[in-house]
Structure 1
Amino acid sequence: MTTRMKYITVVAVVGATTSASTLAQELAVEEVIVTAQKREQRLVDVPVAIAAIGGEELEQKGLTNIQDIAFTVPGMALREDGPGSYQIFMRGLSNQYGADALVGVYLDEAPMTLSGADQLDVRPLDLERVEVLKGPQGTLYGQGSVAGAIRYITKSPDLSKLGGAIEAQESFISGGDSREVITGVLNAPIVTDKFGIRIAAQAQEGGGWQDQPQAGIKDGNNQDLRNVRLKALWKPTDALAVQGMVVVHRNESELGLGFENPDRTVTVAVDRSRRLVPKEFDYDLYNLDVKYDLGFGELLSSSTYIDHTHRYPFSYIAGPATNYGEGVPGAPLAVEGTDDRQQAIHQFSQELRLSSSGDGFFNYTFGGFYRSLGSHFTAVYDTIYDYIDPAIPTFNFGYFDYLEKEQNESFAVFGDVSFRVTDWFELGGGVRYFEDDQETFDGFSSEKDSFDSTDPRVYASFKLSDDINIYASAGSGFRSGGFNRGDLPNYQPETLWSYEVGSKGLLAGGVLAYEVAVFYSDYKDMLRRGLILNPDGTTIQNTTNIGKAEVKGAEIGLTWRPFDQLTLNATAAYMDSEIVEVKSADATNNAGDPIDYVPEFSYTLGANYEFDLSATLPAFFRVDYTYRDKVSYIDRSVFYDQFLPFYSDDISLLSARLGVTVGRANIELFGTNLTNQNQWIDPYHYWTNANRTRPRELGVKVGYSF
């Protein structure tokens, strides 16, 4: 495809050839079981590209949030607006606008995606694994999974034995504050083999490095985090399992913007010495799963209720490259502003499905899904306009309120079946019908609209052996339309068709695990935001369907155990994204533009070495390196064309961890961003709305298990 793709191919061939020489050592990469298709399967048997990260690997890599995971999974990126606020992008589908998300997030069976800009912050705490499903997952996971889905699989209560762990961590941020983290896990069978609970909790303080000198704020992005998860499992019979889960999440940060300058300071608009309201990101989650084994299949009912509140400041300053900034000929005005935004969301969802047991001749999943969401958003804006044209009156400070109330109700029915035509060939397909009813109120008037879609998927698997699978799939995705304010017309849904061919398997007796895929995505009616400037200097946001985009890409992953103590892994992704057709008169893009937030090339390299300091002191040493190409941003409604596109930096991050186990205790020394890179993650820095890489962090963690 390109020189880089030739390089990836050579790496794969060399890795496979080298690993063959180790066959005699009778080593094996650990086999991974996933539930991506809502039933248990070996990773090698699933006809979908998946990045599966086990719980132990998550801890050894020191992955603490979704941004860390994004750097670990090539081809994944996100837009971050401070702690707990993320928009996740994958496989070249990157779009900040729209009524729902492009990548769905799940905690076990509970959907954590509320809307396009509201996805709950999930911390990797006491997990079995994280599954990152790439490509459209609309058939089984709905409209919010157009580009993929992320599933956090938590550990369930063990009904047979008492156990747990407690860990304390102290770390130091280069140029910033120390960070203290306490983590505890308790597993308790109340009635042996019948009823038990599992509690996982984490408290974090400190860890900031951003300053606001004019306000006297030092390390203002410290986080006061409390995250508690309680799971209770009741198994009255072998066939019936009832599991409840409660999550309480509280996070507060004094600055909390997530945006910073290269000198690690924060600039607040209008009044540089102003102390903004602290950022608060809270939610309570209640989930009840009831599973019944019918013998021929498993029946599941999953009910989830979420109560989420979010208060956050948002500051913006028009730079000289914007058509709102001073210093550029023809610029009409300079704009600075700070918003106090508050959001309250309540969501109830219910899924009922029947899935086949095991992996036999005929496999199936049938189900239905219902969701009701209510949202109340308010904002108070204070904005300064400094008109260059003296004929227009100066409007210095304008305070006004913004209100948006939304009520969404949706339902879906879905099914997926596969037939094992022969021992080595399987053919499958699925479909989902979805309907979404929306209503919005802006304080003056209300609007209603409905959207629906039927999204099919077909796939085939060809087994060269029990451990080598070649597959092909084609699937569609859908994302609802939504509302523009005032008399502007509503925007219509986006649609996607994606085609993928791949292979995954185990070679040389299981010493080498590989996964490779190539894909093409046809992304139609892509949404983008435009800004309409009124004569009085105010603006109206207008979201429109601008046209069509195409994404071509390839991914590869390798895990190799050259000898018993050493495990090596490498992953890489290449993507070519382009907007190929523009049909909207007020479009912010031209044909030929790249899609925002899409790295062309990204890869990871890792090594884990296990050794013994003595006969009773097992130890490990792990080192990881991640690289991501710069990502771009284009918006011709806000920025002058001669400055576009804007870019982030290339991102290179190196981390390492050394651990030793002493009886039931463990001690770890770790470092992240060891070279202390200070780089733009986000390209949107010409409005001072971009974050940078976290500074170097060095620390120690001590734990005890029982």
Structure 2
Amino acid sequence: MATRMKYITALAVVGATTSVSTMAQELVVEEVIVTAQKREQRLVDVPVAITALGGEEIAQKGLTNVQDIAFAVPGMALREDGPGSYQIFMRGLSNQYGNDALVGVYLDEAPVTLTGYDQLDVRPIDLERVEVLKGPQGTLYGQGTVAGALRYITKSPDLSAYGGSIEAQESFISGGDSREVITGVLNAPIVTDKFGIRIAAHAEEGGGWQDQPQAGIKDGNNQDLRIVRTKALWKPTDALSVEAMVMIHRNESELGLGYEQPDRTVTVAVDRARRLVPKEFKYDLYNLDVKYDLGSAELLSSSTYIDHNHHYPASYIGGSETIYQGALEGTDARRTRAHQFTQELRVSSSGDNFFNYTVGGYYRSLSTSLFSLFDTLYVDGDPTTEDYTVNDPYYDRDTYQSYALFADISFRFADRWEIGGGVRYFEDDQENWDGETFVEKDSFDSVDPRVYASFKATDNINVYASVGTGFRSGGFNRGEASNFEPESLVSYELGSKGVLGGGVFAYEVAVFYSDYKDMLRRGLVFDPATRETSQLISNIGKAEVKGVEVGLTFRPIDRLTLNTTATYLDSEVTEVNAIGNTTNLAGDPIDYVPELSYTLGANYDFDWGATLPGFFRVDYSYRDKVSYIDLTAFPRENTPQYSDDIALLAARLGMKIGQASIELFGTNLTNQNKWIDPYHNWTNANRTRPRELGIKVGYQF
């Protein structure tokens, strides 16, 4: 630990020292504008740790999904169950129990988190930027943002000029199939300065590498992906703007679980030759944002409706290190349907004033249904009983009606000081239905405050301190067991961000301590006589997380940009108040938390001749192994279960020829074949994607 802390500190010291020698150079680090606090601000002015990835940077790094983004943002990790199925963890917080997420996901103003297991798959296509807000965001963003928020900011229609682009890509996966991708963008001002549309379309085929030999399936995790996003912007007056967005997402994959073995094969439970139900991940999203400029403030109404359909298999095998020692395995076909409507109304101050504020209200109506048909194989060693059983179908339906009021107010004084605070009141009314009768009804509420202060040492250097809170709503245990209450988190953060050396050096550093209370843990009991498993989720845990985050960007010469980001996390379950067989004991590390993770990057712009600009980019990311502990499934001597340490190297070379462009790229250049997930003893873990080499051509008009 001491060595790693010294390493991170050295990065900051070296960067700061280097910047002093370049004080005379001109401003070259680009200023970043974000909307993390639901109003436009310079990144350096926001008293929150944020990683902002611009649209061009995302494209040059070759980030194609949220797993790629996780490797580009140290301290972020995923539990992935195939394309479109993610649980996102951040800042040392990971918990797979409960009804909601730990990290909320947003597409512009539209929340695309449905439940903890249902977050819509958003691909980084035609984006302004991605904002990763670290730490609890409960005051402004509500439940499901205990660990942070992930925001995709798309490009809006340009009402002044026609334009667009088309890109085609062909790439080759080591040991797998080729991947074909085509992306097109069209911007059309129908009525100049008044009304226009922007259409982004994306199609992807192939790219698989996983085989199921017993079923004769080759490269079965090929994806057949289609995405169309249309945005229409109407500005009848200078003060009023109305923007509508429709997004259609369709993805299918024959082997859609994403789990694999080191030899890149898929092992299916019960019957190794069984062809699983193909994975289908579909959704339609409709959003309407109405903004009115009040002069000193902006009024916003944002309405979103989502229709989601997810059809997928599940397969599990209790391996040799589990308590079942290979005697339990099962597979089932599942279908999830979800419908969600959200409405947010808020007013925010404009500009950077003596008095700044955001005040609003939020409503959500969500209904979800899950249907599963299980096949289970239990080998009990008794020759007089059958080992193979088919369980009854399982049906579950949940409805949520949520309400919230929130406010955040800050005051600026003595030119450089700002203090602020906010609070959010939340209420969640839930119902659970098993297909025959209403089983449960309950209501949960939470009040979540936030306070912060910042000091502007100069116009481009900000020092801040904050205390923030976050929460996740409660939920149901079936039967007579008590329901579980909301989780809560308090996080204390001290940080600084700024631009030095006349603009050639930018930095961001934060240290934090988080106190995770009412942590949900699971008790699990398997009855060999009935071959049934029962579980109870309770607020019986506490945890602590300490961390350091550093980000540095350096432009030593006009065309060269160097950057590094690093996160060190020390996480621990500190208390488990339970009797019986529970998931964790005090002293255990928190699941899915890498101790050290960092990135290194370099981008060099150059000219091949007077009219042929180009760039060369290299990116390296490293993540420590992550652990998993479940004492209801693994004997103590077999815990923790671990993933691998992962180091990924990528490079890209590009050139523009007038309005055309061509790029050569490679990802995972060293062809690492490592466990991303520690859950592999249940054959429920994904591995790093093999090396991919490709070419992309484009044309802008």
How far 1:422 sits from its partner (Å)? Answer: 1.6
Amino acid at match of 2:409: V
Q: Does 1:627 align with 2:628?
A: no
2:533 corresponds to which residue? 539
Q: 2:515 aligns with which of 512, 522, 528?
A: 522
Runs of 4+ in 1 over 4 A off after TM superposition: none
Q: 1:615 aligns with which of 610, 613, 618?
A: 610
Amino acid at match of 1:165: S
How far 1:25 sits from its partner (Å)? Answer: 2.9
Matches within 5 A, 1:262-411: 262-326=262-326, 334-389=327-382, 393-411=385-403
User: Residue 170 of structure 1 contacts residue 181 of structure 1 at CA under 8 Å; is this kept in 2?
Assistant: yes
- TM-score normalized with structure 1 length: 0.98
Cα distance in 2 for partners of 1:658, 1:427 equals 46
Q: Which SS does the other structure have where 2:590 is aligned?
A: coil
1:560 corresponds to which residue? 554
Q: Which SS does the other structure have where 2:613 is aligned?
A: strand
Which structure 2 segments of 5+ residues have no match?
none
Q: Which SS does the other structure have where 2:608 is aligned?
A: strand
Q: Bigger CA drift: 545-554 or 52-61?
A: 545-554
Cα distance in 1 for partners of 2:521, 2:201 equals 40
2:163 corresponds to which residue? 163
User: Residue 99 of structure 1 contacts residue 482 of structure 1 at CA under 8 Å; is this kept in 2?
Assistant: yes
How far 1:389 sits from its partner (Å)? Answer: 4.7
2:142 corresponds to which residue? 142
How far 1:20 sits from its partner (Å)? Answer: 2.1
CA distances 1:445-498 after superposition (whole Å, capped 9, x unpaired): 420011000000000001100000000000111111111222332222111100
CA distances 1:401-442 after superposition (whole Å, capped 9, x unpaired): 000001100010000000002201000000000000000011
How far 1:19 sits from its partner (Å)? Answer: 2.2
User: Residue 203 of structure 2 contacts residue 226 of structure 2 at CA under 8 Å; is this kept in 1?
Assistant: yes
Cα distance in 2 for partners of 1:267, 1:528 equals 29
User: Residue 289 of structure 1 contacts residue 303 of structure 1 at CA under 8 Å; is this kept in 2?
Assistant: yes
Q: Bigger CA drift: 526-535 or 302-311?
A: 526-535
CA distances 1:339-395 after superposition (whole Å, capped 9, x unpaired): 10100000000000000010100000000000000111100001111112568x334
CA distances 1:304-352 after superposition (whole Å, capped 9, x unpaired): 00000000001001101111224xxxxxxx1111110100000000000
2:675 corresponds to which residue? 680
Cα distance in 2 for partners of 1:267, 1:400 equals 24
Q: Does 1:79 align with 2:72?
A: no
Q: Which SS does the other structure have where 1:352 is aligned?
A: strand
2:573 corresponds to which residue? 579
Q: Bigger CA drift: 411-420 or 473-482?
A: 473-482
User: Residue 545 of structure 1 contacts residue 584 of structure 1 at CA under 8 Å; is this kept in 2?
Assistant: no
Q: 1:487 aligns with which of 443, 459, 480?
A: 480
CA distances 1:28-76 after superposition (whole Å, capped 9, x unpaired): 2001000000000000000000000000000000000000000000000
Q: Bigger CA drift: 492-501 or 12-21?
A: 12-21
Q: Which SS does the other structure have where 2:24 is aligned?
A: helix
User: Residue 102 of structure 2 contacts residue 144 of structure 2 at CA under 8 Å; is this kept in 1?
Assistant: yes
Q: Which SS does the other structure have where 1:387 is aligned?
A: coil
User: Residue 280 of structure 1 contacts residue 311 of structure 1 at CA under 8 Å; is this kept in 2?
Assistant: yes
Matches within 5 A, 1:19-58: 19-58=19-58
* Number of equivalences: 698
User: Residue 27 of structure 1 contacts residue 563 of structure 1 at CA under 8 Å; is this kept in 2?
Assistant: no
CA distances 1:205-230 after superposition (whole Å, capped 9, x unpaired): 00000000000000000000001100
CA distances 1:483-522 after superposition (whole Å, capped 9, x unpaired): 1222332222111100000000001111100000000000
Matches within 5 A, 1:185-264: 185-264=185-264
How far 1:540 sits from its partner (Å)? Answer: 1.6
Cα distance in 1 for partners of 2:2, 2:578 equals 32
Cα distance in 2 for partners of 1:527, 1:248 equals 35
Amino acid at match of 1:449: D
Amino acid at match of 2:90: M
CA distances 1:257-288 after superposition (whole Å, capped 9, x unpaired): 11000000000111111111110000000000
Q: Which SS does the other structure have where 1:230 is aligned?
A: strand
User: Residue 27 of structure 1 contacts residue 561 of structure 1 at CA under 8 Å; is this kept in 2?
Assistant: no
Q: Does 1:602 align with 2:597?
A: yes
User: Residue 25 of structure 2 contacts residue 503 of structure 2 at CA under 8 Å; is this kept in 1?
Assistant: no
How far 1:102 sits from its partner (Å)? Answer: 0.4
Amino acid at match of 2:144: G
Cα distance in 1 for partners of 2:312, 2:536 equals 23
1:511 corresponds to which residue? 504
User: Residue 546 of structure 1 contacts residue 587 of structure 1 at CA under 8 Å; is this kept in 2?
Assistant: no
User: Residue 371 of structure 2 contacts residue 394 of structure 2 at CA under 8 Å; is this kept in 1?
Assistant: yes
Cα distance in 2 for partners of 1:260, 1:386 equals 24
Amino acid at match of 1:396: Y
- RMSD of the alignment, in Å? 1.0
Cα distance in 1 for partners of 2:53, 2:487 equals 31
Cα distance in 1 for partners of 2:690, 2:306 equals 34
How far 1:18 sits from its partner (Å)? Answer: 1.3
Amino acid at match of 1:3: T
How far 1:22 sits from its partner (Å)? Answer: 2.2
1:671 corresponds to which residue? 666
